[in-house]
Structure 1
Amino acid sequence: MSPPRLFSEAEVARHCTEDSCWVLLGTRVYDVTGFLSTHPGGEALILRRAARDVGPEMEGPPHRHSLNARRWMEQYYVGELERSSRGEEAQPLRERRKPEEKTQAAEKENTAEKQEEEEQEECSPFSLCSSVDLEKDLVDWGKPLAWQVGHLRERYDAWVHQPVDRPIRLFGNPFLEASTKTSWYWVPVVWLPIILYFSWQCYTTLAQETTRLALTSDLSIPVYKYSFPLLFAMGWFLWSFIEYCIHRFVFHMKPPAHNYYLITIHFLLHGQHHKSPFDGSRLVFPPGLASVVVGVFYLVLHKTLPDVLGQAVFVGGLCGYVVYDMIHYYLHYGSPKRGSYMYNLKAYHVKHHFKHQRAGFGITSTFWDHPFNTVIPHERF
């Protein structure tokens, strides 16, 4: 292995813009330019610390970064700081270090406390962290992963929750591979016309005032057009519950270690997203796959409720799904304003990826995490 590249403090100090942003962790130098737009706290937080030691921020406050987050950072390692290069030209870099930050760093040097925290994190039922060498991984990244992951057996669960910042190729066949990728805008392009059509059809049907809801064989009540918003909201609310259940019980099922096919299916459905959480081409559902779930949802409502009522609830649920996919994409690539609802939701979802993979299953909201006791402990970003 070749020795790491050495950089002077003056060289590091020149990389402090959004076009080239470097940070230090002790004497280790990291080029985090590509991570600026996806950092959960926003790119401004990193830019304010460009060319500086981010060790105090990694340890907290406001929060201590998880083992997965620290391992993620190692992907941007570019070399070491050459301490012998200190001179007058490096003075601006040293001047940028705030005295209070040095004090915080000193206060965090309690080795016993750090070790205890790491042990607690490793033993937590919500944490699946373990070490991984990206160059000597359990799979061959030069080949399609879909047919490899099933052979990981009992090692799969820990491996899939060690996120990496690299593209994933699932299939060798170009057509199959392309079918697993979807640009975000195809979700509204495909589904919004259907939502608008069903909404118009439901409203105009209800406006005829001929729809009645049978309570018993002898008693029925009329359903007017003014009830459409309520039915629509019921469908949206129903989708939020389905969203939670699919994410928790399907996407985060733990496939049996001996079952090659279930491991493969899990990886194709959701495991690949946790392995490479910032793969923009696989953040929303391909319309073909989503149509299966949408079709089942429609049929169940059609059999359960009178025709137009079932359609009204269905269109509300379909709208909820579209909002879900758009929010999920935004939580990975958006830069919400600090302190806003979307900012807190983004921080919540990132913690689900990097630290609490067995909690935080709500995407559009944390509502269902509360009654099912899967809320991620609050930790300020």
Structure 2
Amino acid sequence: MALKVFSRDEVAAHHTAKSLWVTVNNKVYDISHFIFDHPGGEEILLQFGGRDITKVLQDPSEHVHSDAAYDMLEPFYIGELEAPTGGKGKSKGKAKASSDDSDTGVESSKVETFIDITKPMLRQVWVSNWNKEYYLKMVHIPRHAHNSAPIFGHPMLEIFSLTPWWVIPLFWLPIISYCAYDALQTVEPTRFLALFGVGLFNWTLIEYGLHRFLFHMEDLLPDHRIALTVHFLLHGIHHYLPMDRMRLVMPPALGFTLAYPIWSLYVYSFPNGIGQAMTSGSMLGFVLYDMVHYYIHHGRPYGSHLKEMKTYHLDHHYKNANLGFGITSKFWDIVFNTLL
């Protein structure tokens, strides 16, 4: 197939949300399908639509992009920018993601085949012969899919892997209300509020612990395909496709499975309504956490704290997955020395 060469005027004409092109090191990318999934929001992309963003990608005042960001660009490559002398002369050659871009000092890495997001992903992990080191390296290189990539392939199973954000409050708020009502049968309101607050604070530690020691238990993960498949289902898919809108909140089945032991610990350790009061606080903390998680991936945060946490969490995805486990705050990252 002949390499397409575009003039600067042609590129500049594509600067709207319906059709957005950019250039990086004289390579032309059509990022129209990516605009609303951009981790930094669509506004910044629209600001630079139809223009060269080579220097912007390395500008500390904007955001220094990681190697993963360059990898994510490659599927949107459509051709080359014409030579500076003008006209549609011969290009210097097809864009090679593995080439060294000496003008920026950045060496882009070629996107390596790992999981084909157009086919059921779970089977690909299961039948692979990847070792643990390779799997963990590749699954933490973010990719992008315009729609949710299939996990199982079967439509009936696929439904259970897709969770709209509004399902979380719809499912959990009645359960929280019941726990609170049950607690108030034996606990006076003032004491209930205090215990509720304790449970809410406890959630912040549970949030950190689950994220760091369950979802990111890479050091203890056995080098076996069963373990890698479980890891992929539990959290690996979120790091592989971090902007998938339908897999940003925890499916109720998984959430209930994780919540039941916590509920049991509360209720059997603190009887007479005390455990129920603290449970209701922790469950509300979970709902808020899941909503914040979705919001910082796809929302436009208001207020300095949420804006800071959006940057912080996206750095966890796009820069260093081994640090920065806090979603709603950095408090426990500071305490346990895992601050990004």
Smaller-chain TM-score range? 0.7 to 0.9
Counterparts of 1:1-381 in structure 2, within 5 Å, are 2-62=1-61, 63-83=63-83, 86=86, 114=105, 131=109, 133=111, 137-150=113-126, 151-153=129-131, 154-166=133-145, 167-207=148-188, 225-254=189-218, 256=221, 258-337=223-302, 340-376=304-340
User: Structure 1: any 5+ residue segments left out of the alignment?
Assistant: 88-107, 119-129, 208-224, 377-381
- Structure 1 residues 241, 75: closer, same or farther in 2, change over 3 A? same
Deviation of 1:246 (Å): 0.9
Amino acid at match of 1:253: M
Residues in 2 aligned to 1:110 and 1:298: alpha-carbon distance in whole angstroms: 57
Q: Identity of paired residues, percent?
A: 41
Residues in 2 aligned to 1:178 and 1:71: alpha-carbon distance in whole angstroms: 29
Amino acid at match of 1:50: G
Q: How large is the Cα RMSD of the aligned pairs?
A: 2.4
Contact 1:7 1:80 in 2 (8 A): yes
Deviation of 1:235 (Å): 0.6
More deviation, 57-66/242-251: 57-66
More helix by share: 1
- Structure 1 residues 256, 294: closer, same or farther in 2, change over 3 A? closer
Deviation of 1:332 (Å): 1.3
- SS of 1:79's equivalent in the other structure is strand
Contact 2:118 2:149 in 1 (8 A): no
Amino acid at match of 2:160: S
Deviation of 1:6 (Å): 1.7
TM-score, normalised on structure 1? 0.78
TM-score, normalised on structure 2? 0.86
- Structure 1 residues 368, 4: closer, same or farther in 2, change over 3 A? farther
Residues in 2 aligned to 1:34 and 1:178: alpha-carbon distance in whole angstroms: 23
Amino acid at match of 2:26: T
- SS of 2:332's equivalent in the other structure is helix
- Structure 1 residues 28, 183: closer, same or farther in 2, change over 3 A? same
Contact 1:336 1:343 in 2 (8 A): yes
Residues in 2 aligned to 1:140 and 1:32: alpha-carbon distance in whole angstroms: 20
Residues in 1 aligned to 2:119 and 2:55: alpha-carbon distance in whole angstroms: 39
- Structure 1 residues 64, 287: closer, same or farther in 2, change over 3 A? same
Deviation of 1:132 (Å): 5.0
More deviation, 158-167/315-324: 158-167
Deviations 1:110-149 (A, max 9, x none): 87xx47xx7xxxxxxxxxxx94535xx1345454221322
Deviation of 1:74 (Å): 1.9
- Structure 1 residues 4, 237: closer, same or farther in 2, change over 3 A? farther
Deviations 1:28-55 (A, max 9, x none): 1122223333333332222221111111
Residues in 2 aligned to 1:143 and 1:73: alpha-carbon distance in whole angstroms: 21
Residues in 2 aligned to 1:41 and 1:269: alpha-carbon distance in whole angstroms: 25
Partner of 2:98: none
Aligned residues: 320
- Structure 1 residues 131, 324: closer, same or farther in 2, change over 3 A? same
More deviation, 282-291/264-273: 282-291
Contact 1:234 1:316 in 2 (8 A): yes
Residues in 1 aligned to 2:71 and 2:216: alpha-carbon distance in whole angstroms: 22
Structure number, greater radius of gyration? 1
